[in-house]
């Protein structure tokens, strides 16, 4: 049965890296159908809204969704910002667990901004709650006073914590739950809910609690010490961007957003309008996001591993875009991976 993917190329370098991911999927000879739809700023220009009806229809009919990138200064003063479409898309899909892996492959320690001895062996997964917290709370705009409400329920915490505990069971059996329980009521609820689930169902997983400010430091000073990191929406947004550069470039980092239905897959980098249209964007994050789509939505683990191995082999051969110190174009970098998919 043909598997349908809604492709939302989006803005800036989004269409370029989405095309690279599309080419790699095609090279894998999977039984897929790709449906393109406008999203973000491009959709505002074309249809007056970041997440228009035609895109909603394409998403509803698809088995999974792939996103390139969203936003840019062109739409800073738009009545509805492109990012609003992303929040609405996540909520429509019901994706509540954002998985962002970070690893430094052997031989790539010198590309990390950290000292090689600190970067060596880094391999962890951040599980970020994606559908709650301050990003979705009631807000009050104002020039003299403003507020953003952060709300979590025990059920929201438990469902994303379960994803993280299961991931830890499949990795090295360790989970670090990140909060700010010394200050925030939502964090105290978070910690209690994680503790309860751990005691009831996951006592075999080693659990530790880390305050978010301490975790920001630990990711720089001892990132090798973590296996799975669980945290709420805003903390996860910040920490995962910090973590993404450990491998040498934010352009290398993929993500998968999962829930009880179809998944959403996207590289974590932004639209990079300063290099859009120049053909120099790093497509590796987008290609590895496509590998996550193949793994989690298509359930084709062998193909996902082929894509990841091809990307790793291409990088180890010296293939590199400008952000990695090389001169390869987006298309050439994608082709180097396609040549190794086999």
**Which helix (H) or strand (E) element contains residue 228?**
strand 228-231
Longest pairwise C-alpha distance within the chain: 60
By DSSP bridging, strand 174-179 and strand 206-211 are: parallel
Residue 271 burial (C-beta neighbours within 10 Å; 0-12, 13-18, 19+): buried
DSSP 239: H
Q: Are 284 and 312 in contact (CB under 8 A)?
A: no
Structure tokens at 2: 């043909």
Distance, in Å, from the CA atom of 242 to the CA atom of 304, rounded to the nearest integer, reads 25
Catalytic residue among 36, 88, 241, 339: 241
By DSSP bridging, strand 264-265 and strand 64-69 are: parallel
By DSSP bridging, strand 228-231 and strand 123-129 are: parallel
Q: Is residue 77 annotated as a catalytic residue, yes or no?
A: no
Catalytic residue among 135, 136, 148, 339: 135
Catalytic residue among 11, 19, 237, 323: 237
Distance, in Å, from the CA atom of 97 to the CA atom of 312, rounded to the nearest integer, reads 26
Count CB atoms within 10 A of the CB of residue 318.
Answer: 10
Catalytic residue among 61, 76, 110, 213: 213
Site of tokens 């945290």? 231
Q: Is residue 45 annotated as a catalytic residue, yes or no?
A: no
Q: Is residue 299 annotated as a catalytic residue, yes or no?
A: no
Among 210, 153, 207, 154, which residue's Cα sits nearest to residue 180?
Answer: 210
Q: Is residue 180 annotated as a catalytic residue, yes or no?
A: yes
Q: DSSP E strands: which ranges in 241-288?
A: 256-259, 264-265
Q: Is residue 135 annotated as a catalytic residue, yes or no?
A: yes
Among 94, 155, 103, which residue's Cα sits nearest to residue 126?
Answer: 103
Q: DSSP E strands: which ranges in 51-91?
A: 64-69
Structure tokens at 196: 């309860």
By DSSP bridging, strand 264-265 and strand 256-259 are: antiparallel
> Which residues have a catalytic role annotated?
135, 180, 213, 237, 241
């Amino acid at each position: 049965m043909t598997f349908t993917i809604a492709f939302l190329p989006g803005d800036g370098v989004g269409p370029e890296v989405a095309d690279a991911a599309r080419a790699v999927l095609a090279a894998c000879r999977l039984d897929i159908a790709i449906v393109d739809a406008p999203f973000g700023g491009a959709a505002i220009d074309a249809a007056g809204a970041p997440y228009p009806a035609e895109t909603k229809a394409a998403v509803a009919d698809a088995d999974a969704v792939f996103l390139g990138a969203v936003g840019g200064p062109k739409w800073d003063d738009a009545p509805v910002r492109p990012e609003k479409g992303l929040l609405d898309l996540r909520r429509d899909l019901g994706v509540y667990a954002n998985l962002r892996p970070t690893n430094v492959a052997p031989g790539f320690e010198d590309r990390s901004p950290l000292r090689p001895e600190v970067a060596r062996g880094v391999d962890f997964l951040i599980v970020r709650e994606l559908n709650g917290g301050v990003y979705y709370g009631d807000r009050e705009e104002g020039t003299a006073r403003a507020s953003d409400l952060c709300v979590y329920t025990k059920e929201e915490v438990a469902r994303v914590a379960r994803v993280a505990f299961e991931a830890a069971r499949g990795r090295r059996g360790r989970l670090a739950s990140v909060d700010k329980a010394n200050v925030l009521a939502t964090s105290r609820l978070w910690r209690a809910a994680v503790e309860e689930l751990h005691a009831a169902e996951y006592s075999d997983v080693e659990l530790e609690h880390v305050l978010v400010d301490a975790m920001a430091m630990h990711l720089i000073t001892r990132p090798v010490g973590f296996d799975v990191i669980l945290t709420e929406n805003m903390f996860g947004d910040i920490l995962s961007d910090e973590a993404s550069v450990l491998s040498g470039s934010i352009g290398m980092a993929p993500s998968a957003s999962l829930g009880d239905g179809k998944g959403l897959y996207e590289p974590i980098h932004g639209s990079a309008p300063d290099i859009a249209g120049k053909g120099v964007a790093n497509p590796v994050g987008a290609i590895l996001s496509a590998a996550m789509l193949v793994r989690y939505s298509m359930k084709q683990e062998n193909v996902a591993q082929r894509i990841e191995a091809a990307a790793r082999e291409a990088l180890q051969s010296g293939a590199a875009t400008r952000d990695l110190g090389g001169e390869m174009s987006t298309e050439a970098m994608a082709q180097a991976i396609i040549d190794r998919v086999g």
